[in-house]
């Protein structure tokens, strides 16, 4: 999603999470943008230090730092990626600067969310599956329940962007959000590619 939605000149990635997906997610972001700095944030400091060490060893031209979720860190981010099991927002959406892209992939519960309502209402929102996020993603369901967002405001599904092979960012100032809860089809495609590489 970041390939289609983040600014091409993005230099600073802020990544939340230290679980099984963390390293793969950071590597995926580094594959599509020329980040110079990656700020890693997580509750488990032992896992976070190990993640930092592995990534720094693999990408010596990138600076990997351990940080905290505060206004300065969030405002400096060009891309924010969240892969956590947190039930409450990880940052204040009012801290986002114009042009930031946010990926949300960790939460799959209707009453939990990795971002707050301000993040959603300030952004152009893209999803992996409209049907799935509208039944599972608190990031969208809570603002809908609050009456400040509706499903007609969803811009597109990831498959639509990939099929059209378009860079979806309209300008350099829009904040964009991609929310994923996962789909069986994407799991099947990933399994196929792993099988083909054996």
What percentage of the chain exceeds 70 in pLDDT? 90
Which superfamily is assigned to 2-197 in CATH?
NAD(P)-binding Rossmann-like Domain (3.40.50.720)
| Separation of alpha carbons 12 and 106, rounded Å | 20
Residue-wise pLDDT for 85-127, tens only, equals 999 999 999 999 999 999 999 989 999 999 999 999 999 999 9
Q: What is the pTM of this model?
A: 0.91
List CB contacts of 135: < 8 A, sequence separation 6 or more. 110
Angle at the Cα of 3 from the Cα atoms of 61 and 47, rounded to 5 degrees: 55
Residue-wise pLDDT for 149-189, tens only, equals 999 999 999 888 888 766 678 899 999 999 999 654 454 44
């Amino acid at each position: 999603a970041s390939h289609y939605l983040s600014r091409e000149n993005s230099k600073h990635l802020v990544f939340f999470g230290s679980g099984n997906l963390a390293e793969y997610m950071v590597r995926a972001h580094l594959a599509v943008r020329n980040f110079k700095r990656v700020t890693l944030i997580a509750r488990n400091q032992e896992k976070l230090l190990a993640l930092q060490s592995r990534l720094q060893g693999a990408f010596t031209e990138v600076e990997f730092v351990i940080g905290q979720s505060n206004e300065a860190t969030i405002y400096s981010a060009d891309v924010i990626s969240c892969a956590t099991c947190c039930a409450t927002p990880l940052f204040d959406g009012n801290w986002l600067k114009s042009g930031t892209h946010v990926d949300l992939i960790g939460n799959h519960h209707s009453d939990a969310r990795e971002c707050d309502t301000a993040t959603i209402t300030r952004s152009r929102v893209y999803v992996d599956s409209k049907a799935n996020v509208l039944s599972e993603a608190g990031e969208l369901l809570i603002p809908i329940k609050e009456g400040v967002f509706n499903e007609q405001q969803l811009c597109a599904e990831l498959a639509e962007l990939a099929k059209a092979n378009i860079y979806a960012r309209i300008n350099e100032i829009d904040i964009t959000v991609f929310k994923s809860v996962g789909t069986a089809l994407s799991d099947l495609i990933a399994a196929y590619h792993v099988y083909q590489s054996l």
